[in-house]
Amino acid sequence: MADEHVTRQTSFLVGRTVGLYLEFRQVIGLTVAATTWMRNSTVGPSLDELRSGSPLSRELACHLIRVSDDELPALLAAALEAKQRFKPGIITYSRKVFIPLTNLCRDYCGYCIFRRDPGQPGAHTMTPEQVLEIARAGEKLGCTEALFSLGDKPELAFPDMRETLRHLGYRSTLHYLEAMCELILRETRLLPHPNPGLLSAEWITRLAAVSPSMGLMLETTSTSLLEPGAAHDNAPDKIPARRLRTIEEAGRRNVPFTTGLLIGIGESPENRVDTLLAIRDLHRSYGHIQEVIIQNFRTKPDIPMRDWPEPTQGEMLRTIAVARLLMPDVNIQAPPNLSAPYYDELLDAGINDWGGISPLTPDFINPEKPWPHLEELKSRTEAKGYSLRQRLPVYPEFLPVLRTRTGLLAEKLEALTDREGYARRTLAA
């Protein structure tokens, strides 16, 4: 038994040493490459200023997001250094089930394949039994997040949805969502993370009582996308000011909040910078932005924007790197399935999280892009010198505030987290 113990300890130490070496090699390799470029680079002196602690201005961010391919290594190295100062050696993900509560929606976004009108093929609203069935199946696979995605207030546009809600016994889609979040909390060990669209202050407070975090993609602050024929034409809930108001109301109530950008839908690189700055300003005011997602548009044959060009991998790398430099102390996430097969390159730009990955349910927003298998994700993350850790839908640094509350949600959080605030390893299958 003693020999076995020594062997296990030795294996652990060797594995950790190899991991630290790979991490060191990655940072040094990128830094050496960046130093070579910076000798003749126009961005080198500016990046040196950032390393010394100077904040990133809009002017410089707009320059960096358009750097040439020759200057890109220097930008990536600076972003990676910032990431390593923030959370060295670790990349996180959330093991989830995707629950599309209803795909009826009153918005008609040009890139969306998720939404339906009543009577269209595939239109549905889930029953409580269906919600619970998915959650319990995910529970058996070690999931700790129930991600609720749904159309924005479909009952305001569709009498059919009002009738469905009446039959279920609820006044509105948000009342139904609230009840389903409570059902998940009460009947499973999963934690709800709702993405219901625009919310009033009252509804943020109500949903915060049954979920540790929530989200709303800002997508863009560009109002030009509201024009006829643009991505957000005929999408009243995508007016940037309304979305910013929801995110701010969450901040006023100290709710851990997920938001982000959708790039490649008609906005300019400068629009991306302005959207990141709007998020940064809200986080500076309230400290509640738990993660910023950089999501790339992917075309699909059955959407109005089917002939629209997709953003390149270079655009993704530049946007992620600038996001990291603008918000060095915020979790930056990019979905791996939307950048497959080269998603591991995104680690070089400064992300520290892969987002929600499901071993059970598809990505209903991008069903043609399956998530990578968790073993593959782990292997490719470790090959870059990082360890992969499972988190809850709420990040560890936001747990202290939530633990001061009483009730079922606080009890669930205590039961699901380890001493560092990550998912207990007994749950991480």
Q: Which of 39-53, 104-118, 237-251 has the lowest mean pLDDT?
A: 39-53
Two structure tokens written together for 175: 């009342």
Is residue 11 one of the residues assigned to a domain?
A: no
Helices 2-38 and 374-383, axial angle in degrees (round to 10) = 60
> Which domain, by its residues, includes 307?
90-416
Is residue 114 one of the residues assigned to a domain?
A: yes
pTM for the structure as a whole: 0.90
What mean pLDDT comes out for the span 334-344?
98
Domain count across the chain: 1
Is residue 23 one of the residues assigned to a domain?
A: no
pLDDT 10s digits, 218-262: 999 999 999 999 999 999 999 999 999 999 999 999 999 999 999
Is residue 286 one of the residues assigned to a domain?
A: yes
Is residue 427 one of the residues assigned to a domain?
A: no
Is residue 1 one of the residues assigned to a domain?
A: no
The CA distances from residue 37 to 44, 82, 311, 388, in Å, are 8, 19, 25, 31
Is residue 429 one of the residues assigned to a domain?
A: no
Tell me the C-alpha distance between 196 and 177, whole Å: 8
Quick check: helix, strand or coil at residue 50? helix
- How many C-beta atoms lie closer than 10 Å to residue 387's C-beta? 15
State the CATH number of the domain containing residue 412: 3.20.20.70
Q: Is the per-residue pLDDT at 160 higher than 80? A: yes
| pLDDT recorded at residue 239 | 98
Longest alpha-carbon distance in the chain: 73
CA angle centred on 358, ends 357 and 361, rounded to 5°: 140
pLDDT 10s digits, 47-100: 877 777 778 999 999 999 999 999 999 999 999 999 999 999 999 999 999 999
